[in-house]
Amino acid sequence: EIVLTQSPATLSLSPGERATLSCRASQSVSSYLAWYQQKPGQAPRLLIYDASNRATGIPARFSGSGSGTDFTLTISSLEPEDFAVYYCQQRSNWPRLYTFGQGTKLEIK
Amino acid sequence: QVQLQQWGAGLLKPSETLSLTCAVYGGSFSDYYWSWIRQPPGKGLEWIGEINHSGSTNDNPSLKSRVTIAVDTSKNQFSLKLSSVTAADTAVYFCARGGVLSHYYGMDVWGQGTTVTVSS
């Protein structure tokens, strides 16, 4: 089973700053790497799929990059509504399984 | 606009069977995989399993075959049963739309979540 490790666990930044969130896989993953945002009491929201493609309706300040075992979610200039928990997720092909990282909490400094 | 609406019992006793259903409104039911995910209080997300319209399933081995996922294509619904529940199964359970059959575009539509508590 592929394990995803996210860092940092908590990131404290101010609105307007740039956020860089990391997701590292225990072995090379396919391009099936996604990022989600979750706010308290809500379901997760898909931000990025295929490591670097923004989902429908996601603002351009969100971008994803990476391949192999190292992936990054970047938020270019934080808006107040961006403070939330972020998860990466991968889908392996054989066996067909999905795993999530443990999450990064992005909090207001 | 695709919407998922889920329901099921919210309070169970240890050893009982959890049962949840998710209805899909709008969009194509047959083109996608449909997943169940859970989130224990204050913790992260755990994928439980998925199913497609033909009934083909995949599930998380960590749940040790306690999982049964079924589909009712006549109603565009899919369901989750988790047997022999314990307090460790207390969580918010979500249903979600997964990728199309040929590619994974992420889980882009989610149900509202159902809080399930296991307590004697």
At B32-77, the pLDDT tens digits run 999 999 999 999 999 999 999 999 999 999 997 899 999 999 999 9
| % of chain A residues with pLDDT over 90 | 93
The mean pLDDT of chain B is: 96
Q: Which of B44, B104, B113 sits opposite A100 (nearest CB)?
A: B44
Cβ–Cβ contact A46 with B under 8 A: yes
What H or E segment, with its residue span, contains residue A90?
A: strand A85-92
Q: Which of A1, A43, A89 sits opposite B113 (nearest CB)?
A: A43
Q: List chain A residues with CB under 8 Å of B47.
A: 89, 97-100
At residue A31 the predicted structure's pLDDT band, cuts being 50, 70 and 90, is confident
Q: What is the 8-class DSSP label of residue A55? A: P
At A78-96, the pLDDT tens digits run 999 999 999 999 999 888 8
Beta bridge partners of A11: A106
How far CA B9 is from CA of B29, B48, B106, B114, in Å, comes to 24, 18, 28, 9
Q: Which of A1, A46, A95 sits opposite B107 (nearest CB)?
A: A46
Cβ–Cβ contact A72 with B under 8 A: no
Cβ–Cβ contact A40 with B under 8 A: no
| % of chain B residues with pLDDT over 70 | 100
Q: What is the mean pLDDT of residues B75-99?
A: 97
SS3 B75: coil
Cβ–Cβ contact A102 with B under 8 A: yes
Q: Judge whether A88 and A35 are in contact, CB under 8 Å.
A: yes
Phi/psi for A80 (5° steps) reads -55, -35
CB count within 10 Å of CB B70 equals 13
Residue B59 has a pLDDT of: 93
Stretch 2-31 of chain A: residues touching chain B, C-beta under 8 Å: none
Dig out the tokens for B53 from the structure.
């319209």
How far CA B106 is from CA of A50, B1, B65, B89, in Å, comes to 8, 17, 25, 25
* Single-letter amino acid, residue A44: P
Place of tokens 């860092």: A7
Q: List chain B residues with CB under 8 Å of A101.
A: 44
At residue B100 the predicted structure's pLDDT band, cuts being 50, 70 and 90, is confident
Residue B99 has a pLDDT of: 83
Cβ–Cβ contact A76 with B under 8 A: no
Q: Do A96 and B113 touch (CB under 8 A)?
A: no
SS3 B45: coil
Q: Which residue has the higher pLDDT, B57 or B99?
A: B57
